[in-house]
């Protein structure tokens, strides 16, 4: 079938909440994608930071196939071995005490928010307790997650949302301090802001927020849905800062393409909710947990985190060169394989040219920033190839 026919059918059938690129992908191999015409593309988007192990990870594929034949689903009224093993492995790499598996990132945030609320309730706080979140954050599209997403454009059509959310400036400790009071029950933020433009938290900021939370007996909740699972060059980005959150969320790369996320908690946050407080039909089912298990095994066996450190440093060097070379490239941020290049104008034309002419899949973060979140298994040669194609795209539109 012609590409345009697919697009016409999609626009006819699918709820129109996306402006999509005119591209229909069919299959993937390694770090390459192929469209329905058989054309090959170099993928530096990884399905929005999801396909960490790329498209040819046999360990994950086989685990899912075997589990599908054996038992894809059993409700959470019963125990299942894949969830137990995946849970144990996730606790081992996160230093957390308890894990709850979800179907998505936004649901992991809902769980974290429920822990915060339950924690406040358990302490007997008056119902006007507050949660501090950050401007330019992104935590998901469900109503709770949207409530802590510091983006007026996303929030406005869906107000009223959860009340008593206060927004501070990310990386501005004084702005957090100014909002803190004995009404504060939790702070939620990304360790590295993703959608907001790839802004890593500074060490001073995270440590300062941790101290404020301790001082006021509030929970520090770190959203690692995008920056976690090895992407920052640590298993979880917070592990680079010498502080530990009470609650953290993960998702995106956890299942390498199967829909699975999790919220994790330690200490007092790990026991705030009790049986009956939370649940899910699909969450943590054997199918997705078989995938998460295989993903966590591959991370260990292949030292994916070490690889990200090495290739990430190489990508960093190459992107620094672009800042020096092009006047239109004005800033570069990030670490590991989550990096951003900021332009002096909207990056839409560069991203579109890269895709359609250079067969390079890039995604943006905000209007002026190209976000680099490739599969974690890319090699330096892929970085070199990406840079050649990106330069051609920049030249073509400037
Ligand atoms: C993607 C993302 C989410 C939402 O995850 P979904 O699976 O799309 O619901 C939440 N937080 C961050 C930091 C994200 O990048």
CA distance linking residue 305 with residue 336, whole number of Å: 9
Confidence of residue 398 (pLDDT cuts 50, 70, 90): confident
Half-sphere exposure of 357 (CA within 13 A, CB side): 16
Beta bridge partners of 33: 28, 41
The pLDDT score that the predictor gives to residue 100 is 98
Q: Which residue, chain included where needed, has tokens 């649901």?
A: 107
Q: How many C-beta atoms surround the C-beta of residue 22 within 10 A?
A: 11
Classified as helix, coil or strand, 208 is helix
Q: Where are the beta strands (DSSP E) in 236-300?
A: 247-250, 261-265
Q: What is the pLDDT of residues 153-162, one digit of tens each?
A: 999 999 999 9
Take residue 301 and report the two structure tokens written for it: 């066996």
- On the question of pLDDT at 278 being above 90, the answer is yes
- In eight-state DSSP terms, residue 361 is E
Domains and CATH numbers, the chain: 3-57+303-397 (3.90.1150.10), 71-301 (3.40.640.10)
Q: Is 105 annotated in some ligand binding site?
A: yes
Tens of pLDDT, residue by residue over 286-302, are: 999 999 999 999 999 99
**Residue 106, beta-bridge partner list:** none
Neighbours of 236 (CB within 10 A): 25
Atom of ligand 1 nearest to the CA of 107: 9
pLDDT in tens, 80-102: 999 999 999 999 999 999 999 99
pLDDT 10s digits, 20-29 = 999 999 999 9
The best mutation among 193, 226, 228, 250 to test binding of ligand 1, ranked by most ligand atoms within 8 Å of the C-beta, falls on 226
Please tell me if the CB atom of residue 194 comes closer than 6 angstroms to any atom of ligand 1. Answer: yes
158-183: b (≥16 Cβ within 10 Å) or e = eeeeeeebbbbbbbebebbeebbeeb
- State in Å: Cα 115 to ligand 1 middle: 18
For residue range 169-181, list pLDDT tens digits in order.
999 999 999 999 9
pLDDT confidence of residue 32: 98
Binding site membership of 224 for ligand 1 (Cβ less than 6 Å): no
CB 225 near ligand 1, within 6 Å: yes
How do residues 103-143 score in pLDDT, each as one tens digit?
999 999 999 999 999 999 999 999 999 999 999 999 999 99
Q: 193 labelled as ligand-binding?
A: no
Intra-chain end-to-end CA distance of the chain, in Å: 35
Q: What is the pLDDT of residue 1?
A: 81
281 labelled as ligand-binding? yes
Q: Is 102 within any annotated ligand binding site?
A: no
Q: How far apart are CA 164 and CA 175, in angstroms?
A: 16
**Kind of pairing, strands 261-265 and 247-250?**
antiparallel
223 lines ligand 1 (CB under 6 A): yes
CA of 225 to the centre of ligand 1 (A): 6
226 is in an annotated binding site: yes
* Contact 139 CB / ligand 1 (< 6 Å): yes
Which are the contacts of 313, defined by CB distance < 8 A and separation ≥ 6? none
């Amino acid at each position: 079938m012609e590409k345009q026919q697919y697009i016409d059918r999609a626009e006819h059938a699918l709820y129109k909440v996306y402006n999509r690129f005119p591209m229909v992908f069919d299959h993937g191999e390694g770090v390459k994608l192929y469209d329905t015409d058989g054309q090959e593309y170099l993928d530096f988007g990884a399905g929005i930071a999801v396909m960490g192990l790329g498209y040819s990870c046999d360990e994950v594929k086989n685990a899912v196939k075997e589990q599908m034949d054996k038992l894809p689903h059993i409700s959470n009224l019963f125990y299942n071995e894949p969830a137990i093993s995946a849970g144990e492995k996730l606790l081992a790499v996160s230093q957390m005490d308890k894990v709850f598996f979800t179907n998505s990132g936004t649901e992991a945030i809902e769980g974290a928010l429920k822990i915060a609320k339950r924690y406040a309730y358990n302490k007997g706080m008056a119902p006007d307790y507050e949660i501090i979140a950050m401007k330019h954050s992104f935590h998901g599209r469900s109503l709770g997650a949207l409530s802590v997403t510091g983006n007026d454009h996303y929030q406005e059509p869906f107000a009223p949302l959860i009340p008593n959310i206060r927004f501070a400036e990310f990386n501005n400790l004084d702005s957090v301090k100014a909002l803190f009071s004995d009404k504060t029950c939790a702070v939620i933020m990304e360790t590295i802001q993703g959608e907001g433009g790839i802004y890593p938290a500074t060490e001073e900021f995270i440590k300062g927020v941790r101290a404020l939370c301790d001082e006021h007996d509030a929970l520090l909740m770190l959203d690692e849905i995008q920056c976690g699972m090895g992407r920052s060059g640590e298993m979880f980005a917070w592990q680079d800062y010498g502080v530990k959150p009470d609650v953290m969320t993960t998702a995106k790369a956890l299942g390498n393409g199967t829909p699975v996320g999790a919220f994790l908690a330690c200490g007092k946050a790990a026991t705030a909710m009790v049986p009956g407080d939370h649940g899910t039909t699909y969450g943590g089912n054997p199918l997705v947990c078989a995938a998460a298990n295989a993903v966590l095994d591959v991370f260990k066996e292949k030292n994916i985190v070490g690889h990200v450190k090495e290739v990430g440093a190489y990508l960093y060097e190459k992107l620094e060169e672009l800042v020096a070379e092009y006047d239109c490239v004005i800033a570069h941020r990030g670490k590991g394989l989550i990096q951003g290049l900021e332009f002096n104008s909207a990056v839409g034309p560069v991203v579109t040219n890269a895709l359609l002419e250079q067969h390079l899949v890039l995604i943006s973060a905000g209007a002026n920033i190209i976000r680099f979140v490739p599969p974690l298994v890319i090699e330096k040669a892929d970085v070199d190839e990406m840079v050649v194609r990106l330069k051609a795209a920049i030249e073509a539109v400037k």
